[in-house]
Chains A and B, each alone.
Chain A
Amino acid sequence: MIRRLFTPLTLFLMMLFLIGPFLIIVAASFSAGETLAFPPQGFSFRWIIKVFTIESFRQSFGVSMFLAIGGTLAALILGIPASYAMSRYRLPFAETVRFLVSMPIIVPGIIVGLALLRYFVIPVGMSVTLALFVAHTALILPYAVRVVSASLANLRADIEEAAVILGSSRLGAFFRVVLPNIRGGILSAFILGFVTSFNQVPVSLFLSGPGVRTLPIDMLGYMENVFDPSIAALSSLLAFLSIGIVFAAERFLGFSRYV
């Protein structure tokens, strides 16, 4: 009897703990009341609507979008050639390169942000936006390299040689036969990078200036001062955005194969 109940009971409790709080947030965002509470007082869209009217959220959403998209693209532009070099050539310093590009995953983000603030923003006058961009790129780089390397490892190196023998240039061979075969990996790396960057807090903590802060940082600031359901509403919206993207990616790309 106990054994038969073990599986469903364990799973139910686990899901309650993992997903339950999120469902409460979703419910709270449809509250009609003035303060954050559960069960919600009434039902309305007022907080969902309000989120869109808060100017600072609109601004920081833009910043976060820019960082997530731009940072991921930059990480891919750096990471794809590096992954390619590491998987196809016998590099003299392969381990050093691998270590360098994967380091940002090992070192806590808050330290990266602080180091950039201390040595680039303050003394050199690097703009906060650029510092954020650089920090997010560095943060995503390990993911980009890992995912792209995994897809390259699954692709035979000799198809490129075959393309060259058939008359294609080296660069042409890369675009004609390598890229189409690692496209899924690259898109997966993009999504992983996007979500990672978008949800990232510690790296961005010290990097905020007038009008420039990421959305999660903005939310942290807002919730310290205001105790209304708009953070809940925004959280729900963002969560559904992330889940939607990942779900679509899984559907069309088989995202989880690459991650």
Chain B
Amino acid sequence: MFQNRAEGLALALPAALFAALVFLVPVVLLLSEGFRNADQWTLSAYVDFFSQPLNRTVFLRTLKLSALVTLVAAVIGYAAAYAIVSLPPGAKGRMVGLVVLPLMISPVARTYAWIVILGRTGIINQALQAIGLTDEPIRILFSETAIFIGLLQLFLPLMIISLISALENLPRDVVPAARVLGAGWLSVFWKIILPLTKEGLVIGGTLVFTGSMTAYITPAILGGSKVLMLETLLYQQVTVSNNFVAASVIAFILIVMSFAANILLKRIASARRSGK
């Protein structure tokens, strides 16, 4: 009954055409702009882009913050996920619900909260002044620290969820078995848990890293116009300088970095397997 391939193709065609036409074609055109210069293929836009110190700073900052957020999210994520999976079933379900909950809330709202917390008159500064650690309010907002905190809060749930499902698929009793054999907690983690959950870590890591790389709202609200990341830089290039070529370069970098992160994380995971 489902032999007629033409019929199947006809059903899939509208979606495929739509995606190709409104998505693939314009995006590819946009990306190609960064490689063209008056009817010639060239890398000069990329050379230009990286020759400007500001761009280099922004590029490195984006990489650094994304990597840092991913790393910290992984560490916290393991602790949180391990704590959650060791809960009794009912409590576990509710806790997973609470972890997912923030994902349903607008990132604008979630990021906005940090203004109240990190601002000049925010909770942190009030607390610091109250206990006399500082007289002047210190500047946390519009800094890399603020962006880091905002990104971490935004994407941590993705890491936790990925690790929870990885930990739940851990074969029963491998951890107690290792403990009985005399392994300390650190070696249990390093030799048992990490190798057996690396798929989850790769998924979570890719989500967090690419999410951080391509986040707009967080650097826009918490970084201000000075502490830029690639997305906010792209936005500025278009709206302030009307520079579509630079925008295309940034767009290409974002896409390449997202893919590269995924491949790299997979590599690391499989390297650990073969290297024991």
A and B touch in the complex (CB under 8 A): yes
B30 and A198 contact, CB distance less than 8 A: no
Contact bitstring A175-213, B, C-beta under 8 A = 1, else 0: 000000000000000000001001101100110000000
Interface of A is mostly: helix
Interface centre among B97, B113, B220 (most CB of A within 10 A): B113
By beta carbon, the residue of chain B nearest A11 is B83
B27: which of A17, A25, A111, A250 is its contact (CB, 8 Å)? Answer: A111
Question: How many residues on chain A are close to B (CB under 8 Å)?
Answer: 82
Interface centre among B83, B106, B107 (most CB of A within 10 A): B106
Tally of contacts, chain A with chain B, CB under 8 A: 242
Bound: A235/B104 CA distance, A: 12
A17 and B153 contact, CB distance less than 8 A: yes
* Contacts known (A100-B20, A101-B16, A108-B254); A89 close to B7, Cβ less than 8 A: yes
Contact bitstring A29-56, B, C-beta under 8 A = 1, else 0: 0000000111000000000000000000
Contact bitstring B104-128, A, C-beta under 8 A = 1, else 0: 1111111011111100011100000
Bound: A201/B220 CA distance, A: 11
Contact bitstring B17-39, A, C-beta under 8 A = 1, else 0: 01110111111011000000000
- Interface residues of B, Cβ cutoff 8 Å to A: 1-2, 4-5, 7-12, 14-16, 18-20, 22-27, 29-30, 76, 79-80, 82-84, 86-87, 95, 97-102, 104-110, 112-117, 121-123, 152-153, 156-157, 160, 213-214, 216-217, 220-221, 231, 234-235, 238, 244, 247, 251, 254-255, 258-259
- Interface residues of A, Cβ cutoff 8 Å to B: 6-7, 10-11, 14-15, 17-19, 21-22, 24-25, 28, 36-38, 78-79, 81-82, 84-86, 88-93, 96-97, 100-101, 103-104, 106-112, 114-116, 118-120, 134-135, 137-138, 141, 145, 157, 160-161, 164, 170, 195, 198-199, 201-202, 205-206, 216, 219-220, 223, 231-232, 235-236, 238-239, 242-243, 246, 250, 256
